[in-house]
């Protein structure tokens, strides 16, 4: 039988943007990653560019020296950092760098659910508080104005802006995307958040959290949406078509569209 997500005081749900994206992509992947907390070995080399550039931008925000580090990193890391750090947006007043948040979300309705994340930078620009998100390899979401990261971070900053001393300023979210192979190396994508936008995000979060907490079956999608997903060998999506199976091994579930597999066959249920 599937486990479900049941946050408690001792084991709260720290809801990150990755959880929301996983859920939208594939409930089975959400089940393995977030409910069962199964981790797969990944190649850290895939993240070297992003991690290094983010670290350098943080050092620059804190006025720490970076020249000695730039001598040691790859040309791609060095050029990406310099392109971002020399962009006009990096000259704006910095209020916070690597600004973490961990805030309760409607504790009366959802005790033990917290919104968590970390903003790359918060700046004040033209009487607006702006969250900056550096993009060094992964693409800016095509629906960036309504993407979960944009919504969740703006919603969190609305709760925290008083702590930054600017309770009255409006908010925006800016993806700052660097690509060395483009003529214009740095592009920005801005979303402004008014009251209606924040209310809409609150409503969407309530709906999504309720759906996730009530989920019992975590069914497979019709088609795998993520060819790099590490659970492809165990989730059941790659099982042979039933028409190719010998008669004596016909599955007990319907072949006409019910793609949920018998729970006992789920290899991670043993953990």
Phi, psi angle pair for 7, to nearest 5°: -65, 145
Phi, psi angle pair for 100, to nearest 5°: -80, 150
Stretch of 23-31, 44-52, 95-103, 242-250 lying at the interface with ligand SF4 (CB under 6 A): 23-31
Stretch of 41-49, 195-203, 230-238, 252-260 lying at the interface with ligand SF4 (CB under 6 A): 230-238
Phi, psi angle pair for 36, to nearest 5°: -85, -15
226 binds ligand SF4 (CB under 6 A): yes
Can you tell me which of 232, 259, 260, 268 binds ligand SF4, judged by CB under 6 A? 232
229 binds ligand SF4 (CB under 6 A): yes
Find all residues with CB under 8 Å of 230, minimum gap 6, and list them: 40, 42
């007043």: which residue's tokens? 93
Contacting ligand SF4 within 27-56 (CB under 6 A): 28-29
Q: Which DSSP string corresponds to 112-132? A: TEEEEEEEEEEEEETTEEEEE
Phi, psi angle pair for 171, to nearest 5°: -115, 150
Can you tell me which of 157, 177, 231, 266 binds ligand SF4, judged by CB under 6 A? 231
CA 122 to mean position of chain CA atoms: 18
Minimum CB separation of residue 229 from ligand SF4 in Å reads 3
Minimum CB separation of residue 24 from ligand SF4 in Å reads 11
Residues at the site binding ligand SF4, with contacts judged by CB under 6 A: 26, 28-29, 220-221, 224-226, 229, 231-232, 235, 237
């Amino acid at each position: 039988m599937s486990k479900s997500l049941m946050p408690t005081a001792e084991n709260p749900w720290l809801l990150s943007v990755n959880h929301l994206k996983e859920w939208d992509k594939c409930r089975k992947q959400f089940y393995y990653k977030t409910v069962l907390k199964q981790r797969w070995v990944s190649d850290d080399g895939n993240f070297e560019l992003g991690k290094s550039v983010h670290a350098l931008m943080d050092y620059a925000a804190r006025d720490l020296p970076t020249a000695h580090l730039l001598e040691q990193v790859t040309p791609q890391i060095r050029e990406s950092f310099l392109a971002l750090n020399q962009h006009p947006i990096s000259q704006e007043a910095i209020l916070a760098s690597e600004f973490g948040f961990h805030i309760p979300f409607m504790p009366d309705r959802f005790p033990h659910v917290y919104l968590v994340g970390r903003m790359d930078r918060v700046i004040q620009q033209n009487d607006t508080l702006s969250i900056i998100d550096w993009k060094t390899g992964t693409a800016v979401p095509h629906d960036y104005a309504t993407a979960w990261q944009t919504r969740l971070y703006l919603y969190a900053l609305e709760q925290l802006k008083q702590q930054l001393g600017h309770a009255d300023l409006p908010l925006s979210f800016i993806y700052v995307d660097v690509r060395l192979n483009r003529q214009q190396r740095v592009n920005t994508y801005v979303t402004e958040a008014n009251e209606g936008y924040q209310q809409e995000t609150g409503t969407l979060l309530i709906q999504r959290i309720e759906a996730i907490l009530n989920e019992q079956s975590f069914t497979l999608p019709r088609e795998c949406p993520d060819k790099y997903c590490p659970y492809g060998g165990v989730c059941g999506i790659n099982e042979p078509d039933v028409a190719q199976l010998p008669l004596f091994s016909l599955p007990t579930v319907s072949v006409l569209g019910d793609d949920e597999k018998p729970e006992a066959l789920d290899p991670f249920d043993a953990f």
